[in-house]
Structures are given as structure tokens and as C-alpha cells.
Amino acid sequence: MEILVKPILTEKMTKLGEKLNRYAFMVDKRADKLQIKEAVEKMYDVKVEAVNTMRYSGKLKVRYTKSGVQRGRSNSYKKAVITLVEGNVIDFYSNI
């Protein structure tokens, strides 16, 4: 099971990363906090202090077209906010 899907790189998470040493990832829905902690420590070679998780349900989307109303739903996902031990940093932009 691939636990970490992708990092969430938004303005809000960038500010949290700079001030509070927190980083967010989209993770597999079936992963628990211990699995997420181990995956982050292994992949980025850092020490994780805390893991907070949130489940987001997909939002309803409605689009009005010539052929009528099309309804759908965006995908649901699970988000994990990782707090690192002071002194550890994850640099997402070093590989670009």
C-alpha cells in the first residue's frame, strides 16, 4: 500500500511549515497515524513529533451545459498534517 500520495503545497501550508514546522500530505484512506509517521520518517529522513489526520468527503459538482445539467462528485481523500521535531525540515523544492 502506497501510504503517501502527494504533499499539499499551498500558501497556508507553506506558512505553517515556516512558522510551526508542520507539513501536509494527501495519504491513503486506509492508513493510520503510525503508518503515516513511519512512511514520512523513512522517505524524508526526519523525526516526526505528531500526526493529525482529517477525512474530506467529495464535494458535489453541478455543471450546466447545452445537453442539460451534469452532476458529479469530486474525489474524497484523507489529509495528514505532520509536526516535525524542532531542527528537522522537509524541503520539497530541492528536486526541482
24-65 pLDDT, tens digit per residue, is: 999 999 999 999 999 999 999 999 999 999 999 999 999 999
Strand order in the sheet with 48-56: 4-7, 22-27, 77-84, 48-56
Return d(Cα 56, Cα 43) in angstroms, integer. Answer: 24
Superfamily of the domain at 4-86: RRM (RNA recognition motif) domain (3.30.70.330)
Structure confidence at residue 91 (pLDDT): 86
Structure confidence at residue 94 (pLDDT): 74
Structure confidence at residue 92 (pLDDT): 81
Contact 39, 96 (CB under 8 A): no
Q: What pTM was computed for the model?
A: 0.85
What number of other Cβ atoms are within 10 A of residue 18's Cβ? 10
Return d(Cα 82, Cα 89) in angstroms, integer. Answer: 11
Asked if the model's pLDDT at residue 74 lies above 70, the reply is yes
Structure confidence at residue 71 (pLDDT): 95
- Each domain of the chain, given as residue ranges in start order, spans 4-86
Cell of 95: 528536486
